[in-house]
Structure 1
Amino acid sequence: MKVALLGTSIAQAHAAGFKAHPDVDVVIYGHTPAKAEQMGAQFGYPTTTDLDSIYADPSIDLIDICLPTRLHTEHVLRALAAGKHVLTELPLAPDMDDARRIVAASAASDKQVFVDMFNRFVPQSRMLVDAVTAGAHGRLLQLTVETNTALLWPGASIGLKEIPLDSMLGDLDTIIRALGVPADIEVAATAKDSEAAAVDALLAYPSALVRCSTSSMLPMSYGCRGGYRAVFEKATLECTFTMGFDGKPDSTVTLYSDAGAERLEVPDVNQYSGMIDHVLDCLNGKAVNTIGPDTVLDSLDVALRIDRAVNG
């Protein structure tokens, strides 16, 4: 299998995932030659600055789009038209009209489209979704999901313009997979400057108080920390994580009940590698696509509603 990886930023996490599969050939496209060459040297992949050659190459099976959000729709549709499978970074599209165009094009094609909902491959997120949907601890009463971070990655802004779609979408997707679409949303926000801010969203559900929060206003010494606390009728499930520059979280999950506190085993899984493994398994006929564009519409719609509340 041959993959064209478009981009040189978050694309590095994808490149690391593909590197674990020696039977996959990868070519990196970068708009800036120096960045493309640096990334190519890091992973041992050839590079190009000729985008047209990517789409014209009949040997390329999958195009992995790690370009700015405003370019996602254009390149997903172009890839499908060129007869390629597609993996695109989240968010799927900058608005719901474009998202639905992608869903329609995907349904009309014999090629598969994947969205990098890496949160679905985080064991801690799966544990929360399973706990809510299985009802083993009784009804969910209260859920708080939060991420608090410094600006760890030089040049990467996490301000009010970025938080709803770039930072909150994964957490919102976990909440919606567990509870469905909220009936209403209340949003509060504040900003330190254009690069650092905080957004709180209260999501209205009939029987549970749910809050999703992201802040990027922490000092560098704080790093990145977060998790969730799910209060059920019979127990409380709590996850805490810390994360460094490599993007790999160190997590704990604890179940608190009248019987005491139980530290649960969390599989050591890199979410990006898990996502790449799933994509390749689907293309090789070993799995069914669980991150298709039709599966992310509800989460994207909620994130866009929060974005409109914050940014107008």
Structure 2
Amino acid sequence: MLTNVAVVAFDGVAPFELGVLCEAWGVDRTADGVPALDFAVCSATPGRISTSMGFDLQVEHGLDRVAVADLVCVPALHRSWPMPTDVLQALRETVARGARVLSVCTGAFVLGQAGLLDGRGCTTHWMYSDQLQEQFPKARVLPEVLYVDEDPVITSAGSAAGLDACLHLWRKEFGGKVASTVARRMVVPPQREGGQAQFIARPVPDCAAETLGPLLTWIVDNLAEDHGVEALARRAHMSPRTFARRFRAETGATPHAWVTNQRVIAAEELLERSDASVEWIAAEVGFGNAATMRQHFSRVRGVSPQGYRQSFSCPDERPA
């Protein structure tokens, strides 16, 4: 169980990505029912460290704090910045003892220096993926995805993707309800999956009339409906080809992948909060039958619906 998180800071650290990790793991949300975590920022030499933005930070904890953490996070920094050998050794020892490491953006280069990307799938910001592959040829760099979970090594792309990776790990450890609570407190969507594209051609529509936002809301509210491309295109008053292109541009995913993910999220909540059968849940969220739901749920979450229910069921929240 994840109870202890350490973030390694160093000279040249990017303050925004450091802040992402502090926000994801360091905020006390126990009043909202989120488990308490022991959190600390540490460095090779406690004291003052410089940031990439021209101001300094004071860090109290040393690498002894890393030695007891269940998760060690590495924020971004300049790709050619030299990393202390004791930091690299601490990261290697973290993985060797069965704990996890997680990088944000160019923090993947630090994991590469530690030898932790060899033979593993990984990612970084799309601008630097070619350099990551060139510098660490034994790694399998996936240049377009938001994050890669090759437990115990998790790598994520640019800034916001770091939050996605952290929320993924919250969900993996504590279930969908807790992950959604953390996301809601941070005012970010909990839905983005690792395989979604980093670069979305139209992150902000030109005008409200062009956005698919209302349609996406309708889909989530009506998951049992037919959400094939042709049916959705008719509702959006577009040709199937235009609709599929627009959908990918606005969401970074295909309609099928996006709808499937929404159905998995809805199924998670029902598995956590109800005693309903898998067959009933499958029909309720639009999978149609239990076999189809098991196939998609296991592929997306890496565990069967029943296995998920056993791990994250909340009996006290089920209707009387």
More strand by share: 1
More helix by share: 2
Q: Using CA pairs below 8 Å that are at least 6 residues apart, which structure has the higher relative contact order?
A: 1
Larger Cα-atom Rg: 2
Q: TM-score, normalised by structure 1?
A: 0.32
Q: TM-score, normalised by structure 2?
A: 0.31
